[in-house]
Amino acid sequence: MSAFNEFKYILDESFRMLRRRKASNIISVIIMGFSLLVLLIFILVTLNISMVIDNAREEMRVYVYLENGLDQDVIERVRTGLYNFDSVRGVVFVPREEALERFRERLGEGSALVDDLETNPLPNSFEIRMKRAYSTGEEMGRIAGKIGDWDGVEDVRYGKDWVERGEKIVLGFYMTDFTLGIIVFLSIVFVISNTVRLSILSGRKSIEILKLVGATNRYIQVPFIFEGAFQGVISAVLAVILLWVSYKVGSRYLPGITFFRLDGIAGFVALCAVLGAAGSYIAIRKYLKR
Amino acid sequence: MPEEKRIIAGIYHLSKRLSRHFTLKDINFQVANGEFVFLVGPSGAGKSTLLRMMYMDDVPDSGQVIVGRFVSTRMKRSTICSLRRKIGIVFQDFRLLEDRTVFENVAVAMKVSGRGMSEIKREMTDILSRVGLYHKRYECPAALSGGEQQRVAIARAIANRPSILLADEPTGNLDPYVTKEIMELLFKINSGGTAVLLATHDVELVRSFGQRTIYLEDGRVVKDSGRVFEGDLLRSISDSQVERRAREFRDRRIGRGEKQDGTGNTNRPEGGG
């Protein structure tokens, strides 16, 4: 059979099957569409939260406080040392006078307290900006530990608790998405496998006839696999449309939330097609093996 | 010049246990090209099982079935498809695809054989005209009478120009008038060179046509009105194991005192009615 004839046959048979079992196909697509919607909502929330946390990480600094009265060459040595870390993106020296000025600004109305000080209690310091990929509690902790031992360094601080808490939140969301993803995807394989099994049962007379006239297993299987893949695609598209509508409504109340990128959506639809085909394949293979 | 007779299908020392109390025992018969053979026996005699083993839907417990170049003892799932594309099968219950037209029902057999739509359309006129259903090509089976449905099944069975057509009680659901029509159609197909092996319990039907008849009773062939020898078919199969078995089989027969001529054929009457 030429490739074109075979493709045409597969399309004909698949649409014939979808038409024949219209009601059950619609029901299973709706069930799967809503299950996928729940998963997509979770993934979208995770995406947005991790973006917020990523942006916050971008703003994270490691502060290196220097001892008072250091020579310029010691300060330069510390600066050079800081640049030697792969994870460091930029280093800014903050003289103690500027630090006091920043403190004054931060206090706002209470800045009069600063004016009462006779001497500047704040030390010179370096502000380290981390490279994005290294903005983790672990890496910050690692370099902070090392820098703390250097000559001329009084203390090293970073928002340890904040960073770790943020990381835990994101990890929690990822774990939830992962677990939910597995459950939803497995249930999709199961639902499609069952829908196709019903399709097989209703069409088993046709399958027997096809076998009697010499149809290969592939000839019989492929339309069913296509049917499963088609259900997967339609459910995924349904879920994405529903999510898009919810997103449009939601973004009125929560401006700034992000939607999935087009390539992400395409990947998701393709994944659902593969899962649908897999569910179908399991069902028809089981039947033909008997 | 008439075509030389050669075996195109055969059953050799076949045994099959069908239930606790019933076994097909040492069944032997062969069908030559262009032959019309009735396989007769009461209901439950194992006729359908024999046919099923000929299109390899079931396997013998011992012995073997050979159809064309296909040998039951070395069949794989993939080769079963190839066998079925080379034979035609007709059933009592027609087995048509209810949701497809006459045209599509016949076309499906041609499609699975890898034939393109233009070729199918070209040949369909001839095939459907031969069974007298060209004018009903766009009807679905539900709109046809029993006789017409059986004609569609026959059209499907001959669509790939098989060398043998296996018919399992093809007139079992039909009235005598339609039965006669279907039988005439099968004879017409047979006259075109396709061998027909028709299983039936209807002894009267068989008598009225006077063709070669194999009688099956209590799980054995009790009479074969025109037996042909299996040598030709076995020799044409290149498998050394099968050739050895064939030699052993021939030797046993010679040992039993049956004479053999120089071509490997025993001196038994040729089949063909």
Q: How far apart are CA B184 and CA B169, in angstroms?
A: 15
Residue A212 pLDDT exceeds 90: yes
Interface with chain A: mutation pick from B55, B76, B81, B82, highest number of A CBs within 10 Å: B81
Q: How confident is the model at residue B156 (pLDDT cuts 50, 70, 90)?
A: very high
Q: For chain A, how many structural domains are there in total? A: 2
A130's enclosing H/E stretch is strand A125-130
Element holding A61 (H helix, E strand) = strand A61-66
A170 and A285 fall within a common domain = yes
Which residue among B77, B81, B97 sits closest to A209, beta carbon to beta carbon? B97
Q: What is the pLDDT of residue B265?
A: 40
Q: Are residues A119 and A146 in the same domain?
A: yes
Domain shared by A210 and A260, yes or no: yes
Higher confidence at residue B205 or residue B157?
B157
Residue of B nearest to A215 (CA): B112
Task: Give the position of tokens 């369909």.
Answer: B124
Q: Are A233 and A96 members of one domain?
A: no
**Residue B254: what pLDDT?**
53
Q: CB of A93 within 8 A of CB of A77?
A: no
For an interface test with B, the pick among A19, A207, A209, A216 (most B C-beta atoms closer than 10 Å) comes out as A209
Q: Within this chain, do residues A19 and A105 fall inside the same structural domain, yes or no?
A: no
pLDDT tens string A24-83: 888 888 988 988 898 898 889 888 888 887 787 777 788 899 988 888 888 888 888 888
In terms of domains, do A191 and A283 share one? yes
For residue A200 the two structure tokens come to 């097989």
Res B221: pLDDT: 92
Q: Say whether both A43 and A182 belong to one domain.
A: yes
Task: Assess whether pLDDT exceeds 70 at residue A2.
Answer: no
Q: Which CATH number fits domain B7-255: 3.40.50.720, 3.40.1710.10, 3.40.50.300, 2.30.110.10?
A: 3.40.50.300
**Inter-chain CB pairs, A–B, below 8 Å:** 54
Q: A8 or A231: whose pLDDT is higher? A: A231
Mean residue pLDDT of chain A comes to 85
Residues sharing a CB contact under 8 Å with residue A102, sequence separation 6 or more, in sequence order: A94
CATH number at residue A65: 3.30.70.3040
A45 and A175 assigned to the same domain: yes
**Integer Cα distance of B234 and B228 in angstroms:** 13
ipTM attached to this prediction = 0.78
Provide the pLDDT confidence category of residue A1 given band limits of 50, 70 and 90.
low
3-state secondary structure chain B: CCCCCCEEEEEEEEEEECCCCCEEEEEEEEEECCCEEEEECCCCCCHHHHHHHHCCCCCCCEEEEEECCEEHHHCCHHHHHHHHHHEEEEECCCCCCCCCCHHHHHHHHHHHCCCCHHHHHHHHHHHHHHCCCHHHCCCCHHHCCHHHHHHHHHHHHHCCCCCEEEEECCCCCCCHHHHHHHHHHHHHHHHCCCEEEEEECCHHHHHHHCCEEEEEECCEEEEECCCCCCHHHHHHCCCHHHHHHHHHHHHHHHHCCCCECCCCCECCCCCCC
pLDDT, residue A50, reads: 80
State the best of B58, B92, B111 to mutate against chain A, taking most chain A CBs within 10 Å. Answer: B111
Q: What does the pLDDT look like over A223-275, one tens digit per residue?
A: 889 888 998 999 999 999 999 999 999 888 888 888 999 999 999 999 999 99
- Check CB contact under 8 Å for A217 and B156: no
Q: Do B84 and A16 touch (CB under 8 A)?
A: no
Q: Which of A2, A8, A213 lies nearest to residue B112, judging by beta carbons?
A: A213
Residue with the bigger pLDDT between A273 and B267: it is A273
Domain final residue pick, A125, A158, A191: A158
Domain-wise residue ranges, chain B: 7-255
Q: A136 lies in which domain range?
A: 61-158
* Contact predicate B169/B95, CB 8 Å: no
Q: Looking at the structure, do residues A171 and A48 belong to the same domain, yes or no?
A: yes
Last residue of a domain, one of A158, A175, A195: A158
Residue written as token pair 């087995």:
B95
Q: How far is CA A151 from CA A73, A147, B74, B82, in A?
A: 12, 9, 85, 85
Highest mean pLDDT range out of A31-40, A126-135, B91-100? Answer: B91-100
Residues 180-239 (B) with a CB less than 8 A from some CB of A: none
